[in-house]
Structure 1
Amino acid sequence: MRAVLGKSTALLTEIWLPILTVVAWWTLSSKSTSLYFPPLSRIISKLGEVVTTRFASDILPSLQNLAAGLCISVILGVICGLALGLLPPLYTAFQPLLEFMRAIPGVALLPVALFMFGIGSDMKVAIIVFGAFWPVLMNTIDGIRGIDILVKDVSRSYNIRRRDHLTRIVLPAAAPQIIAGIRISVSLGVILIVASEYVASTEGIGYIELQSARQYYMDVMWAALLLLGVLGYLLNVLFRVVEHRLLRWHRGLRGTDQGGTK
């Protein structure tokens, strides 16, 4: 009973402000006659229309490019992070280049990506990969380098095989920080997919927003913005569920440690 009550309280704590915001927006905009700030009721109506009529032509391509870019960036980030985290001399050699490259915003590479990949999906995926790669990489490196030296000494003393050392000690120990990096990358991916669809694009959620603004269909533009917010929130909720399952052991360990120190 206490667990159910706690979950209900947590849910109410999370949703009360969004509900209040929607109610206030709906009320204050209900009699709006402004071209630039239409009523929320009309925006939601247009949102339903966009989802039903343009899902396959615009929303689905954005989701596919986002998924492809995030998958590639996570795989590359973890692999490269493992190599740099486990080999300090390699990390020292690459550190200046890494700091230089990650300081460049992904959006700044749009002209380069257009030149290299053209105006198709490859360009958009490449922009997402470049921008979302760095949080995964740096968090993986930090997670591995932050493993307790005693753990490494014990592994070495028992002559644990490299594969077991990697899969049973290194990756689980670095998993919390790797997951944190992936969460940042998901948010960056949403931003970058929209930015990439602003330039030389003929499909996507960003394309809907930009074209609607150019044609003064402000209700459709606001609907696209609302869709992006809902998409970002749903991705965050989905990622929290995955994180909860993957790091259940970590929270249990922390709870045990905290209980033991009391």
Structure 2
Amino acid sequence: MRTLKNGVKGLLYVLGLPVGLLALAWWMAARSDSFYYPTLDEVLTAFGDTWFSARIVDDVLPSLARLAVGYLGAVLIGVSLGVLLGSHRRSRALLEPVLEFFRAIPPPVLIPVLMLFSGIGDTMKVAVIIAGSVWPVLLNTIEGVRAIDDVLVDTARCYRITGAARLRRLVLPAASPQIVVGMRQALSISLILMVISEMFASSNGVGFAIVQFQRSFAIPEMWSGILLLGLLGFALSLLFRLFESRVLGWYHGLRRSQRGER
């Protein structure tokens, strides 16, 4: 009974605010007579007609593919370079000024430069996603590796655990809470950069479709695209929460035991 009650409470926490905002948007749109603020009925109708059609294959799937490749590339580069810099103080001191310089450059500014070298295809869009999403993963990985308990490091040294075994059994597990935090931050950044990259010289994608609707004054369809992005972000957040619960199950269990919780 208690488990059911906690489940209902968790569901209310997850859905309460979105439902409230949806009701508020419905009420405000119903009182508006502006062409640029259609009623929620019109937006939902346009949503079904627009996105439950060939656009799923033509626009949504290409966007998700770019997002997946860019995000996974950012995670791979960020974790690999973060482990290297976090483990070697001299390498970190040597590369830190260069990394700080590139981190200060907003990724959308790189779009014209990347277009010169890689054209306007998927390569440019994936590169933009990686360029902006790699930093949270990289910085959190560095801090996670640097914060490994000295006792664990000395124990691994005493047992002569080195190389790949040390990376797999000590470094990555100990730094995984920080790494997952960086991955969560990178996911939202990747979604934003996916949309921005598709608004520049693109021929498909959700961002491209939204701009086309705006330019052709298809206002309900434009709002339906924005609604789709919100739903995609919400779904990706739920999927990442499931991933986090599996990867960091041991960590959350340890925290609960330290607080005396069951």
Fold-level similarity (TM above 0.5): yes
Alignment of 1:93-132 (within 5 A): 93-132=94-133
| Residue aligning to 2:82 | 81
| Cα distance between partner residues in 1 of 2:25 and 2:91 | 53
User: Which deviates further from its counterpart, 186-195 or 27-36?
Assistant: 27-36
Once the two structures are TM-superposed, the CA of residue 27 in structure 1 deviates from its matched residue by 2.6
Question: What's the Cα RMSD here?
Answer: 1.3
Equivalent residue letter for 2:30: S
Once the two structures are TM-superposed, the CA of residue 120 in structure 1 deviates from its matched residue by 0.8
Q: Percent identity?
A: 41
Alignment of 1:200-215 (within 5 A): 200-215=201-216
Equivalent residue letter for 1:144: V
Question: What is the TM-score of this pair, normalised by structure 2?
Answer: 0.96
| Cα distance between partner residues in 2 of 1:67 and 1:91 | 29
Does the CA contact (< 8 Å) of 1:73 and 1:129 recur in 2? Answer: yes
SS at match of 1:200: coil
1:159 equivalent in alignment to 2:145: no
Equivalent residue letter for 1:36: Y
| Cα distance between partner residues in 1 of 2:158 and 2:118 | 50
May I ask how many residue pairs the two structures share in their alignment? 260
Dislocated runs of 4+, deviation >6 Å: none
Q: Show CA shifts across 1:181-213 (max 9, x none).
A: 011111001100110111111111111111111
| Residue aligning to 1:15 | 15
| Cα distance between partner residues in 2 of 1:197 and 1:161 | 44
Equivalent residue letter for 1:210: V
| Cα distance between partner residues in 2 of 1:200 and 1:28 | 35
Does the CA contact (< 8 Å) of 1:30 and 1:41 recur in 2? Answer: no
| Residue aligning to 1:28 | 28
Once the two structures are TM-superposed, the CA of residue 31 in structure 1 deviates from its matched residue by 5.2
| Residue aligning to 2:176 | 175
Unmatched 5+ stretches in structure 1:
none
Q: Show CA shifts across 1:11-56 (max 9, x none).
A: 2022111111111212332354321000011101111122122111
Question: What is the TM-score of this pair, normalised by structure 1?
Answer: 0.96
